[in-house]
Structure 1
């Protein structure tokens, strides 16, 4: 009798393999996309690749440790993680490294560190802790600061990031916990209040800085401003379109020759599309969908509500950023500076994304341990009276 063969041994193997494939694709793309910029600025064509490989090594170690770590211990560390995050974001505003007019990095000597990347995962952890507890105890979920300080802390952390300024990351930091609240069962009343206040705040933030209005105008009609604010998005669209179905070939794209700004960071996907074409872009798209699928499977079968909400938040973080970056690169949304996970250059982002995937594996691993321990429980021996009855019946037969 033929047995059905599985492509993956389990969902953990599937997620790990998908992540490694995306990392390989990203490493090759970063090497190609950053060659010219690295040589022009540092006289070393492999400057960014070397730094990427160092971050990758750290990420592998962090991933291995996190996947074996008991994620439930994070609930007791929520306050400590929040304090560390707020202090590091405060340090950025005081002594941070300024790049392109924004203070987003702290210098560690051998590398620069971006605390806002930590803020993304920390807000997910503290939100999952609160929501999991509410679901366990059947407590109504609310964002009222008098009853729930967690959502207020997420707003404060997002405010620190916005002050850098980094509106794109700030929206992720507050947006993902908000969606997690919706998933957990937030009342329609509070959903309406959040949507209304959020729309007002977005409008105010968009008009607060003149360059944000320019980005919106250039997004609406980039071709009329192709030599001004719309230059970046126009060059991105041209790069993607020139790649066609099969691309120009790895290393043969011309947009990285100072035509497309941030060609190895936020717009790395445009260079990838130009060199590998629609075929390569579609493969990355399918890999991200598969990653989301297996993460959702883990979330659905996880009995622990903290773990369930944690996996939901991490899935939203990885796939949500990927969706935002792709939409930005092809001109569907304004330029907001969101990286493409595992594909765009960024050491802190890469390490934190690998840690996030490690936490997903930790949730699934401990879920399997609980199931195995339940199945292997010893069966208590039946009462003596029952045994005697069974024995008597056997004799009669």
Structure 2
């Protein structure tokens, strides 16, 4: 496999291990639930494998397309996800008071998961364009310090806000579903790309203050969100009410002990733990594989993060590098947040554990993200090789020119 560094090989291997763990855990956590509902014991795992195969096929397409076509299609990504989110608003199905899914025959699609990747693709494309044009990576400073007329001022506003415009629009629609956790994710990672692209410190500080103030306001203005934040400090104060999920999750994790109760032997999946196959899949896994298994999964996500960053650092092209950074952070940080939520260190937000939680669109999106990382690394290294050959040819031309020999530049 030419152009594939060891860090990418390890990243793909880690992804494969996480996928296998996810398949085993989903079967273990859903077979009783499926039988209890009067259906086949293989209902959830069958759907999971179908989405996995679809994700692998889509990832293969992403690798074959290459990053140039992905970047050129950033507008199409945005428009497609935007229309799907609008469709959810008017024709979606509601689960637990949130309207997030579209039915596709026997299966459902959650467009907000696709919005996470669309936002990163968009922001990486426009920030890379600024870097290539040697423009400053700013939002407010460049507008306020550029003398111009009203018409040019408006154009300046659009120009400076363009990289974050797509994620902001998508996050606003998702927030209305309502889904504050996913909306925050859609905005958070494009914001990190600004920092990685070289945003000035004062603007980073202003962005953090704005995000904290806005997030705090949205958290306290809703009684439901405020209750979730408050119960985090002592979930056992209301074990049958607001703290029920966290208490059950902590009990499941703790009952696994050091070595676990054994594969398929956990009892909390027998409808004792809410959302045992989605938000709290890690709790089921921890009960069956114990402290050792829990730490292994944590290490796998940390390894994914390190390998992804290693791949991104080797890329010299701004777009490919930012895309790999963004997608690596998207998968790794979501994993860290979910695991922290399961052990009571983070509010219950509904953010799934990548590759392990049940959720067709989430799995599809994560596998596609790995395909995009793979494609970006291959494309970036190919471009670097081409640029290196061009530099060598120019250097050789410089040596041959004084002797009057004919140039052989084919580019």
TM > 0.5 between the two? yes
Indicate which of 13, 23, 47 corresponds to 2:19.
23
Distance across 1 between alignment mates of 2:133 and 2:109? 39
Structure 1 unaligned blocks of 5 or more: 1-7, 389-397
The alpha-carbon deviation at position 284 of structure 1 amounts to 1.3
Indicate which of 359, 369, 381 corresponds to 1:368.
381
Aligned residue pairs, count: 381
The alpha-carbon deviation at position 373 of structure 1 amounts to 3.7
Distance across 1 between alignment mates of 2:106 and 2:9? 33
The alpha-carbon deviation at position 15 of structure 1 amounts to 1.6
Which has the higher mean CA deviation after the structures are superposed, 69-78 or 236-245? 69-78
Distance across 2 between alignment mates of 1:238 and 1:71? 45
1:302 aligns with 2:315: yes
Note closer, same or farther for the CA distance 1:287–1:58 as it changes in structure 2 (3 Å cut). Answer: same
Distance across 2 between alignment mates of 1:299 and 1:127? 16
Structure 1 runs (4+) deviating above 6 angstroms are: none
Distance across 2 between alignment mates of 1:130 and 1:385? 42
The alpha-carbon deviation at position 9 of structure 1 amounts to 6.8
SS at match of 2:241: coil
Residue number in structure 2 paired with 1:52: 48
Deviation by residue 1:156-214 (Cα, 9 ceiling, x = unmatched): 21010011111110110011111111121212332232222222211221123221122
Whether the aligned pair in 2 keeps the contact of 1:247 and 1:277 (CA below 8 Å) is: yes
Residue number in structure 1 paired with 2:301: 288
Indicate which of 129, 140, 162 corresponds to 1:133.
129
The alpha-carbon deviation at position 32 of structure 1 amounts to 0.3
Q: 1:239-318, aligned counterparts within 5 Å?
A: 239-318=252-331
SS at match of 2:265: coil
Which has the higher mean CA deviation after the structures are superposed, 195-204 or 274-283? 195-204
Distance across 2 between alignment mates of 1:9 and 1:314? 18
Residue number in structure 2 paired with 1:174: 187
Q: 1:1-397, aligned counterparts within 5 Å?
A: 10-144=6-140, 145-146=157-158, 147-374=160-387, 383=400
CA RMSD of aligned residues (A): 2.0
Note closer, same or farther for the CA distance 1:36–1:185 as it changes in structure 2 (3 Å cut). Answer: same
Deviation by residue 1:32-87 (Cα, 9 ceiling, x = unmatched): 01122222224322211111111111111112222222112222212222122211
Whether the aligned pair in 1 keeps the contact of 2:315 and 2:381 (CA below 8 Å) is: no
Distance across 1 between alignment mates of 2:400 and 2:39? 82
The alpha-carbon deviation at position 116 of structure 1 amounts to 0.4
Q: Scaled by the length of structure 1, what TM-score is found? A: 0.91
Whether the aligned pair in 1 keeps the contact of 2:252 and 2:283 (CA below 8 Å) is: yes
Which has the higher mean CA deviation after the structures are superposed, 366-375 or 114-123? 366-375
Whether the aligned pair in 2 keeps the contact of 1:72 and 1:307 (CA below 8 Å) is: no
SS at match of 1:148: helix
Distance across 1 between alignment mates of 2:125 and 2:113? 19
Which has the higher mean CA deviation after the structures are superposed, 379-388 or 287-296? 379-388
SS at match of 1:261: coil
Residue number in structure 2 paired with 1:394: none
The alpha-carbon deviation at position 133 of structure 1 amounts to 1.4
Whether the aligned pair in 2 keeps the contact of 1:143 and 1:151 (CA below 8 Å) is: no
Distance across 1 between alignment mates of 2:209 and 2:39? 51
Which has the higher mean CA deviation after the structures are superposed, 271-280 or 60-69? 60-69
Distance across 2 between alignment mates of 1:95 and 1:386? 74
Structure 2 unaligned blocks of 5 or more: 141-156, 406-411
Note closer, same or farther for the CA distance 1:95–1:42 as it changes in structure 2 (3 Å cut). Answer: farther
